[in-house]
Amino acid sequence: MKNYFNVIKTALSCLLIAGMLGFTQQVKAQKEKPNVLLIMADDLGYSDLGSYGGEIKTPNLDELAYNGVRFTQMYNSARCSPSRASLMTGLYPHQAGIGFFAGDRPNNPPGYRGKLQPRAVTVAEVLKQSGYRTFMTGKWHVGEPAPTEQGFEQFYGFDHGYAANSWNEDMMIRLPEGADKIEYGDGEFFDSDAFTDYALKFIKDAEKETPDKPWFTFVSYHAPHFPVQAPQKYINRYKKKYQAGWDQLREERLARMKRIGILPEDAELSPRSSIPLPRVAKEHGVPGDLESNPAWSEIPDDRQKDLARRMAVYAGMVDNMDDNIGRMVEHLRETGELDNTLILFVSDNGACAEWGPYGFDLPQRMLDAKKPGQGIGGGTPGLPSKLYKGEELDEMGGPGTGIAYGSGWANVSNTPWSEYKHYTYEGGIGTPFIAHWPDKIKGKTEGAIRHQPSFLFDITATIIDVAGADYPEKFDGNEIEPLEGKSLMPVMFGRTLEERPLVYEHTGNAAIRYGDWKMVGKNVLDGQGMVDNPDWKLYNIAEDRSEIYDLSAEYPQVLDKLEQKFMKEAERTYIFPRPGE
């Protein structure tokens, strides 16, 4: 009799399991559209990831890269607010209204009003109309209104300011108001961990509430933007790594980039890049001519120790972000959703050189903000870079400290390119871009490297494409700018996009890329348009992407054509008119 009941019990269990599997298969059949996980890093350099040549431990992103597709010529808009505006809307940042920075500037020209304009619609709004659940965590930084009023159902992060103290939970806000929160005990909060906690919460809730619906989750990490901070265990992994200095690290990265196929064998390392604010560097006691970063060997020993620790903290911040990305990937793998999830990773701009080789330290008042939703903002932090010595070195990056790592290390992060965030040279606008989607990216495509020139708005177009969503001509009664981006799905399978000009502008720094040619300059635009006798440089990017050999004198006719094309595109995309200086 006992055996009889065991047989019945086993049979019922099998029927139950079969029923559950049948339900899962039915749900998966209903859920034909893929989930989309969009991840953005903040101020991450072009070559910081292991899969792009860096020495920082990023095994989770590297796994996505080696089992997906890496792009070597993805471009951003040189700074956080404009890049996010482009990514959120599929337009140039000026078309979306944020050519400069987030903030309400209603009297500015149309391209510089500081918040998303009625002529733009967010990718979350587009996907929501197509049946997607929409979630966001992290840094917003495209002005008011809040994310939950622009297409996202749930939000956790900071919706004002350009940065936050990663250890300070008070800076964060949960939307919609009154929504349930995750409780953190004393010493448990770190923002990259929390942004991931909430992203997983939103995804898990959606899996329970609407298992038949796909979701779009945007995880907008604050890492590794200043204040550069990380949990101690991550910093300790790099305690000695950067004592060799930035000159040696740049050479080592260049060699790895060639070995793994990110760069051609004949790629050259650009000279040490400029110091953004030579006056500040002089006040900090930086040696050398102050036109470019000094040689590491010129730096005094005590300052070398300080700087090596600053870079170790930066590396730890990136390492921690990678671990958190691994947590999300593991959840998707455990739930069987990894194959049907398009994961995209990108950085908002090149590495941050603010404001010289020694970096700077944030005022304590900025670190101690108590108003939820208010990140760090309100102008350039002006404190000199503190020189940490002895036991103080071990405190760097922990609670109560807020550092920037400076232009010397930013030059390493952008290896082998020249310049940094703010500027439209390759170091300012070049970004790693990884796409991973096992259902589609497999076989010969898996692990591919693509050299197609592309722009952040192409990521938006790709998401809309794979979601099968309709980009509207009108939204909420407003005429919408036509989608500027092009889907990159064909590129992932080896095809190329039609040649097109790509234009860039930020604070008067500008560039145009068309085919193999790039025209770029610092302070070439002002409130009247193009300055008299602009100092444009001309580079053949196919042969010299490191922007070492200026060909403007040799090919004046090419420069003239690019200047004319830039002016035409600048008029079309709201770069002109610019605000008065």
Catalytic residue selected from 94, 141, 422, 436: 141
Could you say which DSSP state residue 558 is in? H
At how many degrees (to 10) do helices 80-89 and 456-466 cross? Answer: 30
Is residue 225 part of the annotated active site? The answer reads no
Cis amide leading into 214 (omega within 30): no
Give me Rg for the CA atoms of the chain: 24
Is residue 80 part of the annotated active site? The answer reads yes
CB 182 within 8 A of CB 201: yes
The phi-psi region of residue 559 (left if phi > 0; otherwise alpha if psi is between -120 and 50; otherwise beta) is: alpha
Tokens of 572: 């079309």
Tokens of 230: 């990380």
Alpha-carbon span 179 to 387, nearest angstrom: 43
Tokens of 93: 């940042």
If you search the block for the tokens 């096992």, which residue do you land on?
Answer: 438
Alpha-carbon span 343 to 72, nearest angstrom: 17
- CB atoms < 10 A from the CB of 265, how many? 7
Sheet strand arrangement including 537-540: 502-506, 509-514, 517-521, 537-540
Q: Report residue 518: phi and psi, to 5°.
A: -135, 130
What's the number of CA atoms in the CB half-sphere (13 Å) around residue 480? 20
Catalytic residue selected from 80, 160, 422, 506: 80
Residue 246 amino acid letter: W
The helix/strand count (H/E) of the chain reads as 17, 18
Alpha-carbon span 504 to 502, nearest angstrom: 7
Nearest to 470 by CA among 108, 145, 93, 90: 90
For 394, counting Cβ atoms within 10 Å of its Cβ (0-12 exposed, 13-18 middle, 19+ buried), the class is middle
The residues annotated as belonging to the active site are 80, 141
